Amino acid sequence: MKVIAINGGPRKKWNTATLLDKALEGAAAQGAETELVHLYDLDFKGCISCLACKTRGGKSYGTCALNDGLTPVLKKIADADALVIGSPIYFGSVTGELRSFLERLLFPYLTYTVPYGSLFPKRIKAGFIYTMNVTEEQSAASGYDYIFNSNERFVQLLLGQAESLYSFDTRQVEDYSKVVIESFDPIHKLQRHEEVFPQDCNRAYELGARLAGSR
């Protein structure tokens, strides 16, 4: 069993990365081999719409023809048994890097047939982890559910089973006095980080264990 996690956020030791680490801990506890990939370490771009992955008889049919820093990661995912994808929410959506990653991961497997189909060689389990500064109520009011549901829907169509974990009202920085973020109460953020974020970590651990197939 191989489980790969994709960190779509720029920070390697903050909310999204922490939850991804916990998910991999849960998978490893079930005997899975795990790997964490930081997208911001890679030199890559999104889909360039060359349609080589859709060209009849082409050598890249069903695979992305681009050869860059993301190419070996896509190959690893094709060989994996489960996938965890994490991103903070910036300006109401996932990071640009994660969006580019999803284009490169999913589009080559999509067939423009009736009905739509998938060229992915097997079915795997997948989980999304989202972190955000807003509350659950603000997330719903802002229509974030559309983004979350859309990502799940495409993964379910093209790769396999998918589920999502949400971490709301997260702490942005350790010391709010050093930055201009007057829209948020640092005392509230610290309290929630100490009381609620550990629960999110436990849920991430359980997500990883489920993806590893034990329960």
Find, among 108, 96, 85, the residue nearest to 158 by Cα. Answer: 108
Q: Residue 72's Cα: distance from chain center in Å?
A: 17
Distance CA 79, CA 132 (A): 31
Which domains can be identified in the chain, with CATH numbers?
Answer: 2-211 (3.40.50.360)
Q: What is the pTM of this model?
A: 0.94
Q: What is the pLDDT of residues 74-83, one digit of tens each?
A: 999 999 999 9
Binning pLDDT at 50, 70 and 90, where does residue 196 land? Answer: very high
Question: Has residue 215 got a pLDDT over 80?
Answer: no
pLDDT score recorded for residue 214:
52
Q: Please state which of the ranges 89-98, 156-165, 180-189 shows the lowest mean pLDDT.
A: 180-189
Of all helices (H) and strands (E), which one includes residue 162? strand 162-167
Report the share of the chain in percent with pLDDT over 90.
87
Classify strands 82-88 and 125-131 as parallel, antiparallel or unpaired.
parallel
Give the pLDDT confidence of 139-162 residue by residue, as tens digits: 999 999 999 999 999 999 999 999
- CA 114 to CA 54: how far, in whole Å? 15
Taking Cα atoms as reference points, which of 139, 155, 167 lies closest to residue 211? Answer: 155
pLDDT at 185: 87
What confidence score (pLDDT) does residue 64 get?
96
Contact 89/129 with Cβ under 8 angstroms? no
Say if residue 184's pLDDT is above 60. Answer: yes
